């Protein structure tokens, strides 16, 4: 692997911004997870009904910080009171940032949730200093947990992983479970990660579903377009890249934003160890750029964000020919070409 200077990496990070997370495509951002909230908290407690008032929470155990440093301003609802009455070990997890931050109710901790919380708290210091891969590996083991709360916790955590990490986890994927809840209105936060996992299932019965998802979202800049396109390419392979390019990338009826989301999906599969996939990606993007140079900025941003400098020749030629008209696109394409050349000359 070539060694790259720190200044070069900083420049790329600042001027050709990464689209960040895997499922966090341009117009979709994953929600904070339970672990995220715990990492941002100074006080973490378990609470039950107060002995003298069943409607008031009282901290019974401090997992982080002080016990009972202030009142928890939540009423104990009837469902929770019933759970407390049924099981003396069940509690509610609360956390807050600092001494004066608002308390957040995070989870009901019963016999099923307790061992998961115990592992999280044990690993929290390591995850705080950056042991992200271990964090994703742990939640990968919970993906097919029979308890729906823990299954969804795992989905939300995996939603934070970049796409290459997600692919590397070799997940056991229960497609029936994912598909059954894919369009639940109150579970929209989980839709993108479910789509991506269906794409990783190797089950070609989902090809029609993913193709329909691309078709339906590309016209409206739908928030799941990137996930559908990425999953389709993952499932079908190079044929899907060629199809997306032919049908959508140079279709002027689609917005530039929609087409950039498709380029992002293709870029996620660039640099593949499969020569067939890599050839398909390069042919699709190069031909699309020649046919519509307005895509130059999008291609530079998405491939540059992933350190893929293979588009330098075509972008350099388009700039020299003066066919990239928008100032922002010219700037991004020019910076991409400069960084590509610097990358090439690194020792």
Q: What is the DSSP string of 180-202?
A: HTTT-GGGGGGHHHHHHHHHTT-
Share of the chain above pLDDT 70, in %: 92
Query: What are the b/e assignments for 160-191, b being 16+ CB within 10 Å?
Result: bbbbebbbebebebebeebbebeeeeeeeebb
Q: Is the pLDDT of residue 2 over 90?
A: no
Higher confidence at residue 20 or residue 54?
54
Q: What is the rounded average pLDDT for all residues in the chain?
A: 91
| Two structure tokens written together for 273 | 């160890």
Kindly report, residue by residue over 162-180, the tens digit of the pLDDT: 999 999 998 999 999 999 9
pLDDT of 8 higher than 60: no
CB-based contacts of 129, cutoff 8 Å, min separation 6: none
Q: pLDDT tens, 57-66?
A: 999 999 999 8
Pairing relationship of beta strands 72-75 and 91-96 according to DSSP bridges: unpaired
**Average confidence (pLDDT) over 322-334:** 97
Domain boundaries, the chain: 1-18+237-347, 21-31+112-235, 36-110
Q: What is the C-alpha separation between 204 and 224, in angstroms, rounded?
A: 20
């Amino acid at each position: 692997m070539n060694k790259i200077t720190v200044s070069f990496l900083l420049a790329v990070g600042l001027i050709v911004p990464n689209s960040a997370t895997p499922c966090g495509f341009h117009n979709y951002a994953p929600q904070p997870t339970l672990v995220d909230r715990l990492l941002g908290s100074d006080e973490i407690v378990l609470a039950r009904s107060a002995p003298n008032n069943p409607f008031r929470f009282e901290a019974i155990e401090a997992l982080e910080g002080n016990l009972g440093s202030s009142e928890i301003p939540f009423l104990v609802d009837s469902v929770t009171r019933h759970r407390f009455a049924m099981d003396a070990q069940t509690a509610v997890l609360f956390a807050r940032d600092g001494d004066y931050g608002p308390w957040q109710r995070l989870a009901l901790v019963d016999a099923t949730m307790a061992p998961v919380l115990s592992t999280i708290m044990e690993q929290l210091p390591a995850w705080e200093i950056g042991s992200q891969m271990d964090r994703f590996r742990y939640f990968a083991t919970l993906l097919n947990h029979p308890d729906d709360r823990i299954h969804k916790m795992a989905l939300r955590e995996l939603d934070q992983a970049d796409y290459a990490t997600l692919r590397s986890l070799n997940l056991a994927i229960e497609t029936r479970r994912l598909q059954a809840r894919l369009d639940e209105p109150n579970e929209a936060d989980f839709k993108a990660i479910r789509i991506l996992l269906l794409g990783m299932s190797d089950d070609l019965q989902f090809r029609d579903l993913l193709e329909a998802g691309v078709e339906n979202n590309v016209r409206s800049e739908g928030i799941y377009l990137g996930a559908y396109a990425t999953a389709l390419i993952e499932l079908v392979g190079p044929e899907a890249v060629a199809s997306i390019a032919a049908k959508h990338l140079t279709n002027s009826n689609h917005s530039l934003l929609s087409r950039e989301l498709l380029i992002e999906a293709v870029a996620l599969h660039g640099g593949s160890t499969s020569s067939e996939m890599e050839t398909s990606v390069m042919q699709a993007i190069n031909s699309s750029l020649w046919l519509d140079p307005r895509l130059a900025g999008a291609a530079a941003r998405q491939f540059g964000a992933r350190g893929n400098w293979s588009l330098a020749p075509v972008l350099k030629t388009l700039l020299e020919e003066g066919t990239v008209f928008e100032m922002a696109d010219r700037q991004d394409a020019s910076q991409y070409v400069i960084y590509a050349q610097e990358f090439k000359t690194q020792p």
